[in-house]
Structure 1
Amino acid sequence: MRPDQQSNTQLRRSRHRRRANTDSVFVSVRCGMSLLEVLAAVILSSMIAMTGLMFVRDHGQTSAERTCLAHRARLQQDAELYARETGRAPDAKLEAIRNGNYGGTQLPQCPKHDSVDTQTNYRWDGTNVICKYHPGS
């Protein structure tokens, strides 16, 4: 036998072990994971990670939405009170409720509104107070 054939034969023998109860049957000993097993593990771990990330949300975004919702609810009540007491709806910019009887002299602004002007960014569409930064909520 040539030396390179001899080393290959020894290598093949070292990768196999005999079963304890039979002398003629060899069992393959695996040294690692197959490519399919590695891909399955990566796919499963990424699915678990994505499921977990769905429930994690930016706290600043959540608090801004809740603050905006509270401002709109308060302005909605003030606008409805104004409509009941005066018999007419407030204007689109809600200037009619900007007084001490209804919304106060300073109307609230959406937290996403970065301007410091005195006018509010909320609008009256005839039935509801809406925000251009949170239109669907």
Structure 2
Amino acid sequence: MMAVFSFINLNKDVYEENFSLALTELIASLHETSFISDPLTKEKVLDFTMQLIEDLFKIRHYGTQFYDFEGNEPERFRMQIEVMDFMRDYGIKALDLQRELRIEIGLKEDEIVNQRILKKQKEFYEKVKIKLKNFLEKKGEGNEEI
């Protein structure tokens, strides 16, 4: 899912190629996982996969829009915030799914550590979002020294 945000640093062709490869690998991994999982976990994996595939249209649209706004930094920052908001729930769902799969294959899980990680990720998300909004506001005020 990190490939979704790589549009920020890559040109359009490289982004589309990387995104396509990452997506193919992710969906293949999820599909394989569903074959070897317990029935309840299999259902969770399939639900996640189907929702992701359904949302791909919107995710791809974000990437396309970002490149369409080349030279319009305020719109690009707005787009980054919108993508972050949209993808936030996927990160949480992916962590939940990862936890389920780790438990299923017998790996040790520590809910206290999991909660700390989740808290850190949420705090990081909020910090980055605030920085983007502040940058966007400064751009809107005509402040070029950012």
TM-score, shorter chain, exceeding 0.5: no
Higher relative contact order (CA 8 A, sep 6+): 2
Structure with greater Cα Rg: 1
State the TM-score, normalizing by the size of structure 2. 0.27
More strand by share: 1
State the TM-score, normalizing by the size of structure 1. 0.28
